[in-house]
Amino acid sequence: MATKARKKMTLNAGETYYRQFNEKIREAVDAGYTDFVLENVNSQRYIATGLIGDLRFLVKGVPGQDMGAFMRGPAIRVAANAQDGVGNTMDDGLVVVEGMAGDVIGYAMRGGRIFIKGDVGYRVGIHMKAYMDKLPIIVVGGKAGDFLGEYMAGGIILLLGMFSGKPDAPIAGRSLGTGMHGGVIYVRGDVPPEQLGPHLHTQPCDADDLKIIAGVVKDYAKELQVDAKKIMAEKFVKVRPFSHRPYGNLYVPA
């Protein structure tokens, strides 16, 4: 069976208002276009939000908030930095950011992968959740701000701390994993105990953990052209939830 030809389009964002720019993208998708180069992107919000299927985007410039929100399937590569809310509640797909990204990355995502080369801001991966057979994954190549993995309910966050513009900062900010009740956070190296959320601690990674990490690192290294062996040369620790109901003692029984 012959492979269906992909249709390519280049769109110039420039000073186009985000709503009109996204309308152009949707019209092109409806017309059968599958591969997009978005040039001169300058904070236009909601790029690829809600799109479904085998679509590919190369974003040249800095996209605005909520890029890839609610999407199910597309692959997005950003050849620069990205603002807040990347992959908000995304269901499936791939986002690769070749620079750094802002706050609330992967909020409530329940599937797909987000690979970021550099640092990220606050509350990355909060409310992440695995859904049925889906396993959301966020890899941060640099360092993270406060509340990484807050209220996390499923999935994997892998924090490398390698490609950072903040050499003197701890690998993660305050309250890492606060309220998490599912999923796992893997960290390359160590996490200072004072950076962890209440009642949390790190554990050494076992052979099964390292197998999972190596698989994720292989894909991450391929997408961002970094050395997987160098990443895996350091030890890893993991943070798991202390309870599936971390605030159960705050409620009065019925």
Let me know if domain 114-247 sits in CATH 1.20.1740.10.
Answer: no
> Where are the chain's structural domains?
1-98, 114-247
Region 20-40 average pLDDT: 98
Contact 38, 79 (CB under 8 A): no
Q: 62: closest CA among 100, 111, 92?
A: 100
Question: Is the pTM of the predicted complex or chain greater than 0.85?
Answer: yes
User: Would you place residue 199 in the very low, low, confident or very high pLDDT band (cuts 50, 70, 90)?
Assistant: confident
Q: Which helix (H) or strand (E) holds 76?
A: strand 72-78
pLDDT in tens, 41-96: 999 999 999 999 999 999 999 999 999 999 999 999 999 999 999 999 999 999 99
DSSP single-letter state for residue 196: B
What mean pLDDT value characterizes the chain? 93
Percentage helix, strand, coil for the chain under 3-state DSSP, each rounded to 5: 15, 30, 55
Alpha carbon of 133 to those of 7, 28, 109, 112, 236: distances in Å?
31, 31, 14, 11, 26
Q: Which of 26-30, 51-55, 154-158, 200-204 has the lowest mean pLDDT?
A: 200-204
pLDDT at 253 over 70: no
pLDDT of 47: 98
Sign of CA dihedral 154, 155, 160, 165: negative
Region 173-187 average pLDDT: 94
